[in-house]
Amino acid sequence: MTHRSLIHLSAAGVSLLLDVGGARLPAVLHWGASLGDIDETDAEALASGAVEPIVPNAIDVPVRLSVLPEPWTGWMGKPGLEGHRSGAGWSPHFVASGGALDGAPIAGGFVASGPGIVTVDAHDPDAGLDVALSIELTPSGVVRLGAEVVNVGAGDYDVSALQLALPVPPIAREVLDFAGRWGKERIPQRRPLVVGIEEREGRRGRTGADAATLLTLGVPGFGFGSGEVWGVHVGFSGNHRHYAERLSSGVQVIGGGELLLPGEIRLAPGEGYRMPPLYAVYGDGLDDQARRLHALLRARPHHPGRPRPVTLNVWEAVYFDHDMPRLLDLAERAAGVGVERFVLDDGWFRGRRDDTAGLGDWFVDETVWTGGLRPLADGVRALGMEFGLWFEPEMVNPDSDLAREHPEWILSTGERLPVLARNQLVLDLAHPDAYAYLLERLSAVVSDSDVAYVKWDHNRDLVDAGTGRRRVAGVHRQTLAAYRLMDDLRARFPGLEIESCSSGGSRVDLGILEHTDRVWVSDCIDPLERQDMNRWTMQLLPPELLGSHIASGESHTTGRRHTLSFRAATALTAHLGVEWDLARATTEELAELGEWIAFHKAHRELFHTGDMVRVDTSDPTLRLSGTVSADRERALFVLATVGRSEVSPRGRFVFRGLDESRRYAVVPVHPGGRPRGFTPAPWFGAETADGYAGVQLSGRALMTAGLHTPAMFPESAVVFQVTAV
C-alpha cells in the first residue's frame, strides 16, 4: 500500500474510523459513538485533528499509535509484540505490504462502509517477521481484532507477548473490572485510572474465578443506563492479560492478549503464532455494552437455537451416594414438576466414592452400576427427559489406574510433580496418547448411555504445567487441546451439548463459548449471592448461556435459608435448573416449584431473545432487572431486595427499555403464591384470584416517574409483567 486510506466502518450506533496509512500499520482515529454520514473531507479533518502536537523534551515527530503498538515510533507504553531472535529483532519496524476491506484490495482515499473486516499484511526484513492484522466491526457494533506473527527469518524467534490495543478518549477515567473467588465469582471493582498501567493477568491456566472478564474504562460515574464506556475481553480460556494504560502524554489505551509463559511460543522458520481474538465493546452505559456482546453471540450459527431445557442436577441431592432407586425417584419427581433434563454428577466411575480417587478412570463403576448407566438413562428418557453426565476429562487423581499406568501423561516440570489441588493433577492433553485415550473413553460412555449433555468440569489451576519430552511450559498447548477435544467429541455426536464448569465459574470467556453451550456461573447457588453473580456475568454473556438453578432451602455453600419464591425468582431469567433434593421437598413446595418452572417455560423465549435491562437504583439493597422484547411489546422485570434498607418503603423505581410513545399495563405476578412479608403498593389495585389489576401508564411515564415499591422482607422478590395495550 502506497496511498493513505481512511476507512469508516459503522454499525449499530458505533463508528470505527481507521487510518490504513501508506506503509504504516493501521491506526484507530475514532472508536465510539456513531460519527454519522461523514465524507472524505470530514475524515481527513478528523485524521488531522488526531495528530499530537510536539511538546518539550519529547521526540521530534508525532507518535502514531497503531493497533499493534510499535516502540520504534516513539511509543513509550506497552508494546504490541515482545520477542527476539537470540537477542536481536526485538523492536520490529513493520512495513505494510497490502490491505483489504472485506477481501477487496484497499486502493487509497476514503471508504465508508457498514460492518466489515479490514486486514493488513506487513513485513520487517531485518527482524525476519511477517505480521497479519485483522480489525472487524461486527453488525452488533463489537470490534473483533486479531494478529498473527510469522517467522520468515533464519533461526528460531521467541515470542514473549502479542497483544493489541485501542485508544480511548481522556474523558474515560474510571476502571471497572471483576474480582472473585470460588463460590463468589464476578465481583465488580471500580477505581480511577491514573498515569501508569492497570494490568490484570490471569496465570491459572484457566480463566479463573478472579478474572478481569471485561476490563472497561468509562466516564466517571457511568451506570447501567448511561455513561460512555469502552471495554476489552480476551477470548481465551488459558493465561491471559487485560490492561488499561494512561501515559504522561495523556494518551489512554486498553488492550490485551494471551499471557505467554517462557518458551511457550518459539517459532521455527515458517511457523506462526495467532493470538486469541480481542473483543472491544463500546456502549452508552453498561447495558448498551452488554447487549452488543449478547447480539454478537446470538448471531453465531452454532448459538443454541432450541428452548433451553430446564435441568435437574443431582449433585447437591446425592453427592457421591449413587443408588439406582434413589436416582429414579428423583427423576420421577423432577419430571412431575416439569424438568426436561436430568444430569448425573460426579461419582459414577470406578473408585469414585469421594474426591480423592478415580479421576481419569472413565469406566462405569460396576460395583455401583451393575448394569451400567444405560438403565438409569433409559428410565430418565422414559419420563420424557434428556440424560446428562458429568466428566472432568483434563484431570487425574494420583490414586487412579491411569496415573499409575501413565505417569508420563501428567503435566509436570522435570521429575517433580506439581503440588496437589483437590487431590488432583492435570493430564497433558498435548500428549497424543493421552488425548486419544480421553477421546475414546468419553466417546464410549456417551455412546453407551446415549448422553445428550456433558457437564465438563475443570477443578484446579495449572501449576508447573510442563509438557513434552523437555517439559516446556504447556498452558498454551493444553488450552488449544482442550478446545480440540470438545470439538472432536461433538463431531462424533452431533447435537451433544456441553456445559463449561470449572470449580463453578472459573472458565467463563468467549473462547470456551466457541466450543460449549452454556457456563456454570458458580458452585454457590445461594440466591443472595447469585443475585449479583448472575447480574454481572451477563455483562459478557446473554442469560440463556448462564446455568442458573433453584437451590435447596438451605444453601450448601453458605448455610443461609431462603424462601422458594426468592430462590426461583433469582434463577428465573437465565438457563433455568434445579439443584435440590426433591425427595425432601414437601407436597406444597413441589407444587410451587412446578408453577415457577411453568412460568419460566411460558416466558423463556422472551428471557432468551429479548434485551436485558438492569436498572440503576439509589438504594443499594434493591436489584431491578428485566428483559424487554425486541418489538417493545412486552417485558418482565424482577424486583429483589438483598438487604435491609435504612428507609422503608424504598421509594419509586422505573422501568427502562420501553417504547416511550406506547401505553403499557403493569401487573405484579406471583408464581407459586404471594411471597412472605410482602405488602402491595396501592397502585397494584384490587387482588383477585387471578392476581392484581395493576396499572396502565405510558412508556415515558414508566421510564421517568416510575412506580412505588411494595413493602418487602429482605431477600425476597416480586415479578412484574409489562404488556403494551
Residues that are catalytic: 457, 523
For 174, the grid coordinates are: 474510571
* Cell (9 digits) for 178: 471483576
Instruction: Please list the residues that pair with 691 across neighbouring strands.
Output: 688
Nearest 5°: CA angle at 484, between 483 and 490? 95
Q: Sort residue 444 into left (φ over 0), alpha (ψ -120 to 50) or beta.
A: alpha
* CA 218 vs CA 129, 223, 325, 450, 537: distances in Å: 36, 9, 56, 49, 19
Residue 410 grid cell: 501428567
Measure the CA–CA gap between 543 and 308, rounded to whole angstroms: 11
Three-state secondary structure string covering 432-493: HHHHHHHHHHHHHHHHHHCCCEEEECCCCCCCCCEECCCCEECHHHHHHHHHHHHHHHHHHC
- Closest C-alpha to 528, from 566, 572, 575, 564: 566
CA dist 404 → 244, 359, 410 (Å): 46, 12, 11
Amino acid identity of residue 129, one-letter, is: L
Neighbours of 654 (CB within 10 A): 17
Length reported for the chain: 725
DSSP, residue by residue, 626-664: EEE-TTSSEEEEEEEE-S--SSSS--EE---SS-TTSEE
* Lookup: cell for 562: 431462603
Residue pair 474/428 in contact by the 8 Å Cβ criterion: yes
Tell me how far CA of residue 87 lies from CA of 78, 131, 212, 565, in angstroms: 19, 19, 33, 64
What residues contact residue 415 under an 8 Å CB cut-off, 6+ apart?
none
Question: Alpha helix (H) ranges present in 69-228?
Answer: none
| Strands of 66-128, DSSP E | 81-84, 95-101, 104-105, 109-113, 116-124
DSSP letter, residue 389: E
Cell of 558: 453458605
- Cα separations (Å) of 692 from 91, 437, 471, 572, 689? 70, 60, 67, 21, 8
The secondary structure element, H or E, covering residue 687 is: strand 687-688
- Do residues 122 and 130 make contact, with C-beta atoms less than 8 angstroms apart? yes
Instruction: Answer yes or no: are the C-beta atoms of 459 and 502 closer than 8 Å.
Output: yes
Per DSSP, the three-state class of 515 is: coil
Could you give the C-alpha distances from 377 to 238, 328, 367, 673, in angstroms and in order?
A: 34, 10, 18, 34
Query: How far is 364 from 577, CA to CA, in rounded Å?
Result: 26
